[in-house]
Structure 1
Amino acid sequence: MKLMPRELDTKDRAILRHLLENGRLTTAELADRVGLSASPCWQRVRRLEADGFIDGYGARVDMELLGLRELAIVEVTLDRHDDETLEDFGQALADIPEVLEVYLTTGDYDYMIKVAVDGTRGYEEFLRSKLYKVKGIRHSRSSFVLRRLKSQQAFVPD
């Protein structure tokens, strides 16, 4: 269970916004953009990390250049909904590299899964050799992404 987060002030929020935009900013560059000197800025970043507001850093990779030209959204309904089935299904998906995101959802389907594949043949291979080998799937429905209109990891509310 997560603890209630502390209140963020405008400087903390500005730091988060700038790091979301460019996580490779140096402390000096970040400090300049948010109107702080380097040392207090560094201390704030470390506190944001320690408090869990920043939970990691990473690079955005061009999937097409890696040969994964298609994104598919797969909606899945499970046979059962007990804790063990949900845990096993979630762990099985976490172990499949092509699965980029998994959401437990409300509505007609239990899960929404974002998958990176190399075209329809790559998707068929993913279904046959990986997804359909996961126990407990009753039904699935797939859609291919035609174009990404927006992609961002998070946002910092005012």
Structure 2
Amino acid sequence: MKLDRLDKRILTVLQQDGRIPNADLAEKVGLSASACLRRVRALEETGVINGYVALLDQRKIGRRMDVFVEISLVGQANEVLNAFEQAVAQYPEIMECYLMAGDADYLLRLTAEDPNDFERIHRETLARLPGVSRMKSSFAIRPIVRKTAFSLDTQVRPADDSSRRTR
């Protein structure tokens, strides 16, 4: 789907506030409420918007540590890769998993309450992952930049009545 300027403005606002009422969204992007709703539904149906979530402060729910784990597997056969990927998806502490090019085959980001909790995760989760030949863990001291919104090269300004469109 090719995104036009109005689609990008809608997406920019929704990334900032996914619970904004449609009437307020329409006003911010300069559309009528019905035209705005049609566009949002089209963005949902095409998968550009693939869901809405509440973003939690991980520290306030006791997940104070971010740990990055580089994983090297015993081989690159499809069976080895598939078994690892299916297993890693089953563990709730693993927040992200990336197939990598370079020294490691995968990079995991997981969260833990503290070092003792990480030790538990290491024993009960990481050590049970199939096909692992090597693991290297790095502990983040603190996040510097953590974004959830993609830049769509658009700025949203309050729309006045003269700029309202009905597309």
| Structure 1 partner of 2:129 | 134
Deviation >2 Å, runs of 4+: none
Give 3-state SS (helix, strand or coil) of 1:12's partner. helix
- 2:120 aligned partner: 125
Q: More relative contact order in 1 or in 2 (CA 8 Å, sep 6+)?
A: 2
Aligned partners of 1:157, 1:18: CA distance in 2, in Å?
11
| Root mean square deviation of aligned Cα | 1.0
In structure 1, the residue corresponding to 2:95 is in which secondary structure?
Answer: strand
> How high is the TM-score relative to the length of structure 2?
0.88
Q: What's the offset of the Cα at 1:154?
A: 4.0
- AA of the residue aligned to 2:88: L
CA distance in 2, matches of 1:22, 1:82: 43
Give unmatched runs, 5+ long, in structure 1.
1-5
Is 1:143 aligned to 2:150, yes or no? Answer: no
Residue 4 of structure 2 is aligned to residue 9 of structure 1: yes
Compare CA radii of gyration and give the structure with the larger one: 2
Counterparts of 1:111 and 1:153 in 2: how far apart (Å)? 22
Question: Which residue does 1:3 correspond to in 2?
Answer: none
Identity of aligned residues (%): 39
Deviation of 1:103 after TM superposition, in Å, equals: 0.4
Q: Following the alignment from structure 2 to structure 1, what is the Cα–Cα distance between the partners of residues 151 and 57?
A: 24
Which of 15, 37, 40 is 1:20 aligned to?
15
**1:153 positional shift:** 2.6
Say which of 88, 91, 109 aligns to 2:83. Answer: 88
Single out whichever of 76-85 and 41-50 deviates more from structure 2. 76-85
- Structure 2 unaligned regions, length at least 5: 154-167
| Equivalent residue number for residue 110 of structure 1 | 105
Is the Cα–Cα contact under 8 Å of residues 16 and 149 in structure 2 kept in the other structure?
no
